[in-house]
Each structure stands twice: as structure tokens, then as C-alpha cells.
Structure 1
């Protein structure tokens, strides 16, 4: 294990995750990552080749958008790989617990802007510390497209798949999962065909199952830990609901069920084994982190310089509050004055607010309703600003 990542587990956020989750960390199964990094969504790739055969990207994307809105049967006339993929995604697994899905969706929504802070300033920023995970972003041109686009795309995807009933067959979240699965496959095929410099021995297959599980853990374990750090009280059902929600999303994206965690203990143990084979931040990591840090300055969400600068300061404050000091230093996050003032104020406000509204189902549902409104509004503002 890279010494810097070892420090993460001994003194940084990793140590917090172990204490919080009750995980039992060991180095058993040393081939865990070696096996998973060589595995990827073969079925998705076969279908993507059919979608993008003899079509330009826009034509192919329009076709898969149309199909994502359609329930098909085994008798439909479609290329076999596309039919197999869609029938697999339409098959609702027996393990699916809709009450847990609802609980996970409710927490995602009621956490409001806290959720967006955790996703941007903890999950996304913290993920840049893992050099190998970032390579697919670099080879698909994420640096050139800019952080604003990645924020917009990620926020749009997250708000769609975490809404109430969003993952019902052909509903909006399901459609987003379907299209994202095909974009993953298209990107993987493109990298393998056009970039002979891809270091398969070190990094594994592009967008492999190990890295997809790590990304899912960013949306579940790291997300929940961020909310915990910001003072949100989360029920056991809500917590399990978030993991169940992302387990189903992972299933729709083609990840084998056995690789997906059910709770924070399992997720922390999986995350540890994954990080054991990662290298800590390199030059690409620092460039991606710097682009994300400065996203507020180049985004079109606000027009006035003082608004952009203040939002930039706020996000940098939350990065320093949520991400451990050593990781921030590796990623070369800018040092600012009074970095913990606004995060601590938000945490105090969250704690007080929950004391006022606790114990009432009506207040809980109102929090879900209002959180959904603000999250969707912010997502639409990013799309409207032309960042997508």
C-alpha cells in the first residue's frame, strides 16, 4: 500500500470511516483488486457496439434515449445484444426492497444542499486522490471539458436517480442509468481503440468493476460520512436505504451483485481493499482537483465576480472541513483564512434545526419536499448556465 494512502487509513478520513462503520480492516484476499480491475461490463460493451455501429454519436444517443423509454419483450425485433441488455435491466431482482429504496431516496432529498456539498467537496474531490481511478477521466478529455461540465453531469445524474420512484422501469432515473451504462461502454471502447498508451497492467481495464464499485461507494459511504460530519442525524433505515439504493443503481449499471456493499461496514472494508492497490495523487490528480476547486470561478451560475469568489471560498472551506489535511495537501488545495467557520456554522444550524423538527412525520416529509425542490433547482441552474 502506498505510504500516503496508509496514512489516510491510520490518521485521516480512513481512520474516521473505520471508527464510524465498525469495519474490520485486514489484508486478506490480496488478489481482490487484481481480479476486479480486469473485469468490466462485457454485455454493455456488446450492446454499445450495436448502438454506435454505422451512426454518429448524436444519432446513436437519440436511439438509445428512445429505447430507454420503452419496455421491450423477448419478441421485439432488436439486435440480440441490445435485447439481452434491456431484458436484464428490466428484470426486477427478488432482493429489491422498495421500502429501503424509498428511505434512501428520502434521505438523499431531505439532506438538501448538505448533500450537494458532500458530493462535490468530499466524494468528488476526495476521489481525485486516487491516481489510477482518474486515468479514464484524463483519457476521455475531462480536463479539456472542464470541471463545470463534470459537476453538471454528475449532479444531473444524481438528482435523477435518487428521486422517489425514479428507478421504476422506464422512469427518469432508470433512463439515466441505462444511458450512463452505454456511455461507460462507449468510453471504454473508445479508450481501448484510440489510446494504445493506456496502461492496462497497472490501471486495469478502463472503467473496470473495481473502479465502478469505488465510485458507487463515493455516492453511498463517503456521502453518508460527509452528512454525518455536517451534523445530520440519520436513521438506521435511511442509512441502509442509501446503500440499497446504490446497490440497485450499481446493478442497473452492470456491476455484479456480489461486489456491491449492503452497509457501511462492508463498504469500508471493500474501500480499504481497493485503496490498497491504488497510487496516491499524481499530476493528473492535482490538475483535476485544481479545476474542481476553481469551478465556481469559471461557471456561469453567477455572473458577478464577488459572487463567484465567495462561492469559491465556501467550497474550499468545505473541502478542508470534510477532507483530511494530508489529502488536501497532496491535492494542493488552496489554503484560506478561517476555513472552518462556515462549515461549523452549518453543522450547528443542522443540529439545531433537527431538534426543532424531530419527531414529526409531517416535518420529515416537508424536509424531503423542500430538499428535493432546492436540489432540482440547482441542477437545472447548472444545465441552464450551459455547463453541460
Structure 2
């Protein structure tokens, strides 16, 4: 897959995909945990996602600047250290019992993740034979799916099993209840300290490793501005589609434990195990979808998968019991190819606008900060979290339209397809 001299750097890069996938998929564990520890509403609890995904909006362009100015190696080390700093901040956040402190820590973690994603995706693509760049990227992204499978299962047993049941808390005096909830909030300190320390070690390994220098010499005239890039109709559609896709994905994954407790009466640990199955379905779907695209055009597959998810959202809203859980697991399977497919179709044939187009699509990940809060408002206002699934349903309608018509390139001056990073 990579030449021998690139093998160790490639393996190091691959660890990054697993690490940021693991961090993202601990958030669905943190949401019910912090909701209980700080007695939050669902809307307040979704600030976890807001703190994480708003960082992508603010950090995408600075991260790109770091890569252009100082290179991929410095960018990766910067991302790892930001990631580690956020993890270590969980300790004073737990000690001070401040929910806002947790949100700041998560924002800093996400700034590190944004920097890592900005660096690792193009670096993995370019590290080796250009003709196998897409295969390398698909391989590394599979470890992101592996993390989506493992993180909820591990996180639930490390974090969610440390607390008291609602019945136990209700039986306590007010003072003892407050002490018990404070102790629960502190249960995150050890796992995040360990994660932060692992990240520091990996950053040191990167600093001591000589990474191949990657040059990008497309020979295309540079774009004038973000707005010039956004004039491409299919890019504008791609930004919108990615905004709503990430919003839908975060709704499904981050609120799954709360949803499963209501729709199927599962305990938090049971729900976390099924969330792991959601990650496994996502991983399998990515592998199968990549193979299916050899026979079905990506835009058609995208539209078909999104249309199927519209129907599955109807099941998630109207059904009860375990069928709702199976419907959501199926939604995860059909979401699996959406992010990379929207990304690739959105920056297709942008020529000199490719870099700005890529940044715009990365910035659109901010949908994960906004859309779940609409889900949460509906849930709190109606007292029925299942009704929140009208939000991802609407998102999949937008994605279906993008696959059917929005992704069509209408520019007349296409020279050559842009490289997908």
C-alpha cells in the first residue's frame, strides 16, 4: 500500500484516524453522563456537540494556514498537543464542577481534531503512489469506523457504570445527592488523563520521526476568494449537504443513548452497546459502499441511501420497542458513505478553487453544532425524543436532492477533475 520507506509514517498517520474517531464517539457517552451529573435539559446537554463542532467552523482556515506555512508535521504535532490539552482540562473541569469548563475543554479538543483532520486526510492520500491514494485514504478512514464501534462500548464501562441509579439518587438527601453527582462528574478524569498522555507520547514520536515532505504542485491558478469558490453551484450544494449530513449524523449518534432509553427502555450501558453496533454498521457500510460504487455512480448511491434513511426516520418516529433501535442501526449503515461522497462530489472540477472549496466543506461541519439543538428543542418541547427524528429526516431530504441534481457540475470551463483530499 505504501512503499517501505513510507510504511512507518503511514502507520503513524493511521493512528490519528482512530484517535479522533475515538474522541468523537465518546461524546454520546458524555452527553447522558453530564446531563445527569449537572441535571441538564436535553437542549443544555447538546451543548457538548455545539462546543465540539463549532470548532470546525473557526479552526478550519487557521489549520490550513498552519499546513501551508509550517508543513504537515508541525500541523499534526500542533493538533495532537491541542487535543491533549483539552483532555487534561477535564481534570480541573471536574474538580471545579463547572459545566462550562467541560465545554471549553471539548472546544479545545475539537480544535486539535480539526487540525489533525486538515492534515491527515491529504497527507494519507499523498503518502505513496498517487494511483493508490484513494485506497490509502479508504484504508485509514476504516479505523475511524473501528473507533465508532469501540468507543461507546469502552466509554460506557469506564464512565457510565460509575454512577448511581435515579432511584438511588432520589432516596438521598439533597446534600448527599449533590456529593454523589459531583463524584459522577469526576469519573471522566482518569480516562481523559490517560487519553491525553497517549496523545503526548504520539506527538513526541511524530517529532522524532522524519516524515516524507509532500509537495502539491497542481499548476492551477489560485482562487481569488472563498466567495469566488462558492459561485460553483455544485460546491454551494455540497456545503449545504455536508452541513445537514453532519447535523443528522450527530443527532443519530450523540442522542442515541437518550433515545434508546425512551423508545426501547434500554439502560444506558445496554444502549451504549447498541451504539457500538451502530458504529459497526457504519464501518461495514463504508466498506460495502466503496465496493458498490464500482457499479453504481456515487451520486445515485448517495441519493438512494438518503431516500432509504428518510423511510427509516419515519420508523424511528412512529414505532416502539426494539424495532426503533434496529431502524437507527440501519440509518447508520446507510449514512456510512455520505460524508466522503458529498465531499468528493462537492469539490469535483473546482480547479483553482479546490483548496477554498475543501475549507468551506470542512467549515460546514458546524452543522453538528446547530442541527442537534433543533432536535433537542423538539424533544424538550414535546416530551417525546422520538419526534426529534423529524430533524434528521429533513436533513436526508436535502442530501437526496443533492445526489439527484445539486451535485451536477454546470461550469463550462472544466479542465480536469480536482484531486480529492
Output the TM-score relative to the length of structure 1. 0.29
Larger helix proportion of the pair: 2
> TM-score, normalised to structure 2's length?
0.28
**Higher relative contact order, structure no. (Cα contacts within 8 Å, ≥ 6 residues apart):** 1
